[in-house]
Structure 1
């Protein structure tokens, strides 16, 4: 029965699914894709991949992960591992398409539009990321969304480590400013409830 295989794998931990996948069990790996596909595509979209491109790179990342599943040691989460693979594949695609040069050559002084002051508006991460320059968004997403270290991001982007750290720092500062309430009332209210 097709349903019994799915339910058998649906109850297993990612590490167990990886072990089954390493033996060639495609349904176990299918469960990993079902669990983490959306998160991988989300990281790619935050890095700048649009629609079908994010889907294509995510698919390539999962194919690569399946081919290399024996290399997964369980030292981190499977989700973090496949996100790193996806981020690296996307960067290779950018380099191949010569888009990366345009992103990294972007002027540091370029400031995005100032955030709206509507305290009642629900601001999500996707909207907040729009205040970052393309390079800042790429660096922040690689380090926090895909789980790469600053050193790994610097190597992948072929940028000096200090430059990546600067982009991440500036990006995080902009995100904090964008996501912080204007009058601080929400934060004060939370402190009072603790």
Structure 2
């Protein structure tokens, strides 16, 4: 069976209202989107799943506006970034900063094992934009230009967030027994 390109799947979904074509795109990118949210929510699997679902709903509704000026994955991550930003903004409006749990946006009730716990605790030290840039660069392997496209930040700001985030993570990990080899 011939593998369909993202653009042909998008065309089938938009022009022919082919939900199976969009389902193929969802299956192709759901791990990447969910992983992005897991790092942004510091391991909260339920919230990550909810935000990923919202991302794909928005992508389906806005698929006709995809112009192909960037990769579909970049466009989809931009939607994911906006979904997370909307979540943070709405949460601040409804809960206030005093009611946030210490260390971030909420940990998973059953935390992951050892190194994952340290990683999420380290990521909790970062500001949201730093965490987003670090996640996209180191965990999703995006270029600085693509991160700028996803976040809407200038490339210089992305570089600054990466530099500050790397320094904060390095200090945290050194303090907790992770030495450079």
Query: TM-score, normalised to structure 2's length?
Result: 0.64
Deviation at 1:175, TM superposition (A): 4.9
Q: Show the counterpart of 2:45.
A: 51
Structure 1 or 2, whichever has the larger Rg, is 1
SS state of the match for residue 98, structure 1?
helix
Which residue, 64, 67, 75 being the options, matches 1:70? 64
What are the superposed Cα offsets for residues 113-135 of structure 1, whole Å, 9 maximum, x if unpaired?
xxxxxxxxxx78x8546424141
Q: Show the counterpart of 2:35.
A: 42
Number of residue pairs matched by the alignment: 152
Which residue, 22, 27, 38 being the options, matches 2:20? 27
Q: Which has the higher contact order (CA 8 A, sep 6+)?
A: 2
Residues 1:95 and 2:125 are matched in the alignment: no
Which residue, 122, 144, 151 being the options, matches 1:131? 122
Deviation at 1:88, TM superposition (A): 0.7
Aligned equivalents of 1:170 and 1:129: distance in 2? Answer: 17
Aligned equivalents of 1:55 and 1:151: distance in 2? Answer: 20
Query: TM-score, normalised to structure 1's length?
Result: 0.61
Do the aligned partners of 1:87 and 1:142 also contact (CA within 8 Å) in 2? no
Q: Show the counterpart of 2:7.
A: 15
Q: Show the counterpart of 2:148.
A: 149
Consecutive unaligned residues in structure 1, runs of 5 or more: 1-6, 103-109, 111-122, 156-160, 184-194
Consecutive unaligned residues in structure 2, runs of 5 or more: 98-102, 104-114
Aligned equivalents of 1:181 and 1:57: distance in 2? Answer: 34
Aligned equivalents of 1:142 and 1:101: distance in 2? Answer: 27
